[in-house]
Chains A and B, each alone.
Chain A
C-alpha cells in the first residue's frame, strides 16, 4: 500500500505540473488581451503599457511561465487583474463556502440515494420502483436553475417561509448559523445528485444480489436484512465511492448556476467571471486547485476501494 501511495503521489505531481503547463498555454491563447478586458475597450496604449508592466505581461511567455512557477512554489498565485486581490485570498474566501454548500448537498444526496437505490433494487419492477425511477429521471433531466427558480417561487416568493438566497456570511460558522438560508440551495443541488446516485446504487445492488455469495448466505439462513446490510450494501457501494472521489473536484470548482441563482459567490462564479474577463491569475490558480482536487479525489477513491473491498489490494499483481 505504501509503495502504491508513493507511486500515486508521484503520478499526481506530474499530472499537476502538466495541468499547469497546459492551462498556462491555453489561457494565453485566448483571443483578446487581458489589459483590454480589465481596462475597457477604450483603454489607451499608455494605460495598457502600465497595466502590462505592472503584471509582467510585457515579458516573453516563457519568462512569464517561469515567474509563475516560482511564485506558485512559494504559495503565491498572483494578483487578480479585475478584483485586485491576491488569488490565494480569493480562493481562501470562496472555497470553504463551496465546500459547505456542496458538501452538505452531497451528504444529503448520499443519505437519500443509498437507501433509495437499495429499496428500488430490492423491490425492482414494483410500483414503488417505477415511481422513484420516474422521479429520478425527472429530477435528473431538470436543469438546476429551473428547479432552483421553482423552489424560490414557491418557498420564498409565495409562501415566504425561506429566503431566496444562500447565507451571506463569509465564514463556515456563519454559514452554518443560518440554516434556513441553506435549505433551498442545498436541496436544489442534492436532488439532482440523488437522482444520479440512486440510479447507480440501484444497478449495483441488483448486480450484487445476483452473485453466488448472496445466494449462499440465503441458503445458510441468514436474515434478508442482515444480508442487505452486511453483504449487499458493502459490495454495492463501491461505484458510489468512485463517484464521490470524482465529485471532489466538482466541490472545489463550485456550482456556478446555484451560486448565481442563490446569490452565493463561490469558486464557480469566480472562475466563470475570470474566464470572461481574461483574468489569467484567477484562471491559473483555480485550475491548479481543481487539478489538485481531481488527483486527490481519485486517490481517495482508490484508497476507499481498497478498504471496502478486501479483494482489491494495490501493489499486488
Chain B
C-alpha cells in the first residue's frame, strides 16, 4: 500500500483564482482555454515578463528535500530539467510525447518489466543524454528516498528490483510487482527527471566527477553535496553544476524575492527551440500589486485573481487576452468517520446521510455566484477538465448527486427522520433496520453538523455560507466554524488511522480547500485506501480498496472508471466545485493558450511574438 502522497506540486502563477469550466458543462463565461493566435507569423526574439504572486524558488536542485515544500522550486527547475515523462500537451491532460525524454516505453513480463528507450538528446554542454544519467538519478534516490520530497513509499525507486542498461540509450527496470502501465507512466515516471551524471557525480565543488553514486555511501555524499549547493540561492546562475541542463531554457539571472530570468538553451534537443529571447519571471508580493502591474502594462503574462474577474474587460481593452487553467485537483468536504464524536460520526457513516448532504449542496449556484462561472463542477474524485480521459461519463454528466432538495428530503424520510425544512430534522425511528435512522443514532438525534473551514478567503466564506443555506432547506443544520489554517491543520492533521484521539479529533466536517496534487493519472489510493495517512477522515471500505488496487496494479483501463464511479457514489468526501485559474496575456503573444494544467501555465518554450505585434 502506498503511504503518502507527493507534496511538490507546481505552483500556479496566481495565488487563488478561478475555477474552471471545460468540457463538463460548467460555464466559463468570458475566458476560454482555446488557442489564441495573434495575426502575423511567429518571429524570433522578444522578452516576456511573467508575474508570479506570493513566493519565489529557494532551491534549484531538481530532487527537492523532504523539508522543502516550496512548489515554486518545481516552476524553476521544470524548464531546466524536464521529467522523463512530460505531463500535459497544450490543454490536453495526456502525456506529451514530444517533450518527454523517452522515445518508447514498453511494459512486458506481465507489466513487471519496463524498457525505456531514451531519445538521442544532448545536455547543454554537448554531452549526450544516456542511460547512465537515469541510473545516476536512480542511485541517488535509492540511497536517499526518504529524504526526497516526491517519494511515495513503495514506489520508485524502492519498487525497482534491478536496473539494466543494455546500451547507452536503453534502461530496463524490473519491478517488484505488476503495475498498471498508465498509472506507472503517468503517476510515477512523470516525477523523475534525468540528471547529468558526467557533471554532477561529485562530492565537493572542487572534486572530480566520478562514479560515486554506485555505492550507497557515495550516493549519499553526492546527494548531500548537491542538496547543499542547490540551496545556495546566490550561486544559482554561477554554479557550473546548474549550467548543464537539458530543458528548453537556461537560467541567467536570479534575484531572491524579485525576479529570475531565462534565455533559450542553445543546445536544446527538444521539438523546437524557444522563440523568445528572454523570459523574465517577476515576483509580486500580492494579487493587488500584480494586478497593478498588469494594468500599467508592465507584465505580459499573469494570473488574474478570481475576485478581480470584473477587471477582465478593462484588461482586454488594454490589449490582453485571457484563458482559464483547470486545476488538477478535487475540492471536498472531509467527513469524520473515526467515531470520536459518537453521534455525528455515526450519522456520517450512513451513506444515505452523506447522499442527503451532497444532494443539498447547490454546486451550480456556488459556481455561478461564488466563482463567477470559473470552476470545475466537482462531481467526483476526478476533476473534469484536468482529468482528461480519466473523467468518467458519470462524472461528466454531473455526477450521481445533482442538487435536489426533494431527493434529500425523501431519503431522510425513508430512513425515519422527521424533516424540518429551514430547521433541524430529528430522528424519529431509531434502529438499524430498513426505514430506521441507523446504528448508533438514538431517537431524537438532531441532524446537525459543524463545518470547519480555513478562514481568510472571501470566496471560502461565501461558499460555506451557501452550503449552510442550501443544507437548511432539507432540514440539515450546519454550524460554520472558520479557523486559521494552522489551527485547522493541527486538528485534522493529528487524526489518522493509528491515532485519532477524541480530545483532538472532535471535528465533524472540514473543508480544507482543493487538493492541488493529483497527477496526470488521478489515482485514489492516497486518499481512500483504508489506513492511508492521507485518508484523514478514516474512511474504510473493502470494496473501495479492491477497486483502487485494480487501478494501480491491474491492466484494465476500464478499472479506473469502475473505481471512480464507485467513489463518486460512496462519498468518502462530499464533492465541491473547484475553482480554476484565469491567466491573462498580451494579445500580441501567441502560443500561450490552451494552458497546460500540469505545468502551472509555464510553457514559454511555446510562446512567440508575431510579425504583426
Contacts and interface: CB of A to CB of B under 8 A. Distances in A.
Interface in A12-69: 30-33, 36-47, 50-51, 54
A157 B292 contact: yes
A157 B298 CA distance: 10
B139 to A, nearest CB: 21
Contacts of A40: 7, 69, 489
Contact of A260 (B231, B255, B286, B484): B286
Contacts of B536: 42
Contacts of B104: none
B286 A32 contact: no
Contact of B296 (A38, A164, A265): A164
Interface of A: 30-33, 36-47, 50-51, 54, 81-85, 93, 149, 152, 156-157, 160, 163-165, 168-170, 259-265, 269, 276-278
24 contacts: A31-B487, A32-B487, A32-B490, A37-B486, A41-B488, A41-B493, A42-B5, A42-B7, A46-B3, A46-B4, A83-B70, A84-B231, A85-B58, A85-B256, A149-B288, A164-B293, A260-B285, A260-B288, A261-B286, A261-B288, A263-B283, A263-B290, A265-B283, A269-B285
B236 interface: no
A260 B489 contact: no
B434 to A, nearest CB: 38
Contacts of B70: 82-84
B489 A36 contact: yes
What DSSP secondary structure best describes chain A's contact surface? loop
Given A85-B233, A262-B289, A54 B67 contact: yes
Given A36-B489, A85-B256, A168-B259, 16 more contacts: A31-B490, A32-B486, A32-B489, A33-B486, A40-B7, A41-B485, A43-B7, A43-B493, A50-B66, A51-B66, A157-B292, A157-B295, A160-B296, A164-B292, A165-B289, A169-B258
A45 B496 contact: yes
Interface of B: 3-5, 7, 58-59, 66-70, 146-147, 231, 233, 255-259, 282-286, 288-290, 292-293, 295-298, 484-490, 492-493, 496, 512, 533-534, 536
Contacts of A93: 256-257
Given A170-B258, A265-B257, A41 B289 contact: no
A152 B257 contact: no
A293 B258 CA distance: 26
Contacts of A276: 484-486
Given A39-B69, A82-B70, A168-B258, A264 B285 contact: yes
B539 to A, nearest CB: 14
A140 B285 CA distance: 25
A232 B533 CA distance: 72
Nearest to B291: A164
B596 to A, nearest CB: 23
B58 A156 contact: no
B334 to A, nearest CB: 10
